[in-house]
Structure 1
Amino acid sequence: MKVLVIEDEEQLLNNIKESLEKEKILVETAMEFNTAIEKALIYDYDCILLDIMLPNGSGIDILKELKKSNKTDNVIIISAKDSLDDKLLGLELGADDYLTKPFHLAELNARVKAVIRRKNFSGNHILDILNVSLNTNERELKINNELVHLNRKEFDILSYFLMNKNRLIPKSALAEYVWGDHSDEADNFDFIYYQIKNLRKKLNDAKADVTIEAVYGMGYKLTET
């Protein structure tokens, strides 16, 4: 996955870049209008984070050019301007979402993942692997076409694994994605262990063709059974 971050505040740009890279997302950056519009129009990105106020130009002008190229369905506007007119204009031009500064990086990460999920799965919100099907819109899990009940945390954990199948997921990344800022308050990751233990049992009982494998000292990985 590749994300372009267009932001002229260097510290915020670095914080966003570091946060996304922890999620194994490739991040490219631009701090001023000319570089930003060149990258946005030439290259393809799973998601573009776009600040409205930029040196030498406006993010709205970039959005207008992206609209001409049918590239606006994966854009999240990030701006300190909390103007309803700016928000509406951005959405009318095709932006997918709008986030007002200041914001929590965990919330930004969640919105980026939502955009990537919609873009990568043609907007149908379905994540499939073998006999497992997860509807991220209806928040339903089906195994062999039979509904399996998951609590909210179990669902979020499984969706994260399905979006990152065949990749090792560190406990810290899983905690931040599912629990957000509250994960910083934890003394350990026992709460993840218990949720995954319950989820693994439900997958096994329903005869899923996948399971969640623990990688000692590192994290977890979704594997075929």
Structure 2
Amino acid sequence: MKVLIVEDNKELSSGIADYLTGEKYICEPAYDFETATEKLSLFSYDCILVDIMLPDGNGLELLKQIRQENIRSGILIISAKDALDDKVKGLDEGADDYVIKPFHMSELHARLRAIYRRKQLEGPSSQVVFNEIELNTDTIEASVNNQPLDVTRKEFDLLLYFIVNKNRVLSKQAIAAHLWGDYTDNLSNFDFVYQHVKNLRKKISVAEGTDYIETVYGLGYKFNTSKQ
């Protein structure tokens, strides 16, 4: 999962990022309204953590902008204990949930995962199933035809990204940014994406699964559900 942390307290932001990185998330910080707006215009995120009080703006205005631009990211408000009105306004503006400071990182993680399941996986279950392919987002395990698939964490995340975005053309740049973070935007080539896709396709084929992943020359890749 790729997360944007909009929080001006750098110590708290760093603590959140360290914890979520330990859970294999990709985290990007934004310490003010302007930086958050810029990142949202350039990159996509699975979830956004938003502090209401920012040094150069209000998190509620950021929520309005996210809604107006039809950004599909899940949104978790980081709220002060006495800011009930802001929490209510935030939920009205399209936030999915909120967490009150101070909070335990495990609670934050649980709420993020719940939001991701509802928004991206269209339900509360940790099981993602497409035909013969099954993924468990809790245990990070994959199987094809009920046989365990020996995949790395990046390959698991890549397969999940394809299934969530099935039938959409995904550029190598978009895949790289989703799995490795926004710093990949300045890379001259994305050959490492090709290698990960190649390895994943080979493992699925060895397990006698259908090769749904097709190359769209000059553009990227697509998880084609019409293949049988």
- Could you tell me whether the CA contact under 8 Å between 1:167 and 1:222 is conserved in 2? yes
Letter in 1 for 2:97: V
Q: Does residue 156 in structure 1 map to residue 157 in structure 2? A: yes
Please point out which of 59, 64, 74 is paired with 1:47.
Answer: 74
- Could you tell me whether the CA contact under 8 Å between 1:47 and 1:115 is conserved in 2? yes
Alpha-carbon distance, 1:206 to partner: 1.5
Residue of structure 2 in register with 1:116 after alignment: 116
> Take 1:179 and 1:37, find their aligned partners in 2: how far apart are those partners?
25
- Could you tell me whether the CA contact under 8 Å between 1:47 and 1:116 is conserved in 2? yes
Residue of structure 2 in register with 1:63 after alignment: 87
Q: Greater CA deviation, 131-140 or 12-21?
A: 12-21
- Could you tell me whether the CA contact under 8 Å between 2:33 and 2:62 is conserved in 1? no
- Could you tell me whether the CA contact under 8 Å between 2:6 and 2:32 is conserved in 1? no
Alpha-carbon distance, 1:52 to partner: 4.3
- Aligned pair in 2 of structure 1 residues 39, 18: CA closer, same or farther (>3 Å)? closer
> Take 1:143 and 1:121, find their aligned partners in 2: how far apart are those partners?
21
Higher relative contact order (CA 8 A, sep 6+): 2
Q: Greater CA deviation, 121-130 or 7-16?
A: 7-16
> Take 1:185 and 1:39, find their aligned partners in 2: how far apart are those partners?
26
Kindly provide the CA deviation profile for residues 133-183 of structure 1, in whole angstroms up to 9, marking residues without a partner as x: 111111111111111110122111111111111111111110011112553
User: Is the partner of 1:87 in helix, strand or coil?
Assistant: coil
Q: Does residue 206 in structure 1 map to residue 228 in structure 2? A: no
Q: Does residue 136 in structure 1 map to residue 163 in structure 2? A: no
Q: Structure 2 regions of 5+ residues with no counterpart?
A: 8-30, 67-71
> Take 1:215 and 1:63, find their aligned partners in 2: how far apart are those partners?
44
Counting aligned pairs with the same residue, the percent is 31
> Take 2:175 and 2:63, find their aligned partners in 1: how far apart are those partners?
33
- Aligned pair in 2 of structure 1 residues 170, 158: CA closer, same or farther (>3 Å)? same
Letter in 2 for 1:75: D
Residue of structure 2 in register with 1:219 after alignment: 220
Report matched runs for 1:51-200 at 5 Å: 52=79, 60-64=84-88, 74-75=96-97, 86-88=101-103, 96-97=111-112, 115-119=115-119, 120-181=121-182, 183-184=184-185, 186-200=187-201
- Could you tell me whether the CA contact under 8 Å between 1:169 and 1:220 is conserved in 2? yes
- Aligned pair in 2 of structure 1 residues 46, 163: CA closer, same or farther (>3 Å)? same
Residue of structure 2 in register with 1:82 after alignment: none
Letter in 2 for 1:88: F
Cα RMSD for the two superposed structures: 4.4
- How many residues align? The count is 183
Q: Does residue 11 in structure 1 map to residue 12 in structure 2? A: no
> Take 2:157 and 2:63, find their aligned partners in 1: how far apart are those partners?
35
User: Is the partner of 2:181 in helix, strand or coil?
Assistant: helix
User: Is the partner of 2:75 in helix, strand or coil?
Assistant: strand
- Aligned pair in 2 of structure 1 residues 46, 13: CA closer, same or farther (>3 Å)? closer
Residue of structure 1 in register with 2:17 after alignment: none
- Could you tell me whether the CA contact under 8 Å between 2:75 and 2:97 is conserved in 1? yes
User: Is the partner of 1:203 in helix, strand or coil?
Assistant: helix
> Take 1:38 and 1:14, find their aligned partners in 2: how far apart are those partners?
11
User: Is the partner of 1:48 in helix, strand or coil?
Assistant: strand
TM-score normalised by structure 2 residue count: 0.61
Residue of structure 2 in register with 1:107 after alignment: none
> Take 2:115 and 2:103, find their aligned partners in 1: how far apart are those partners?
18
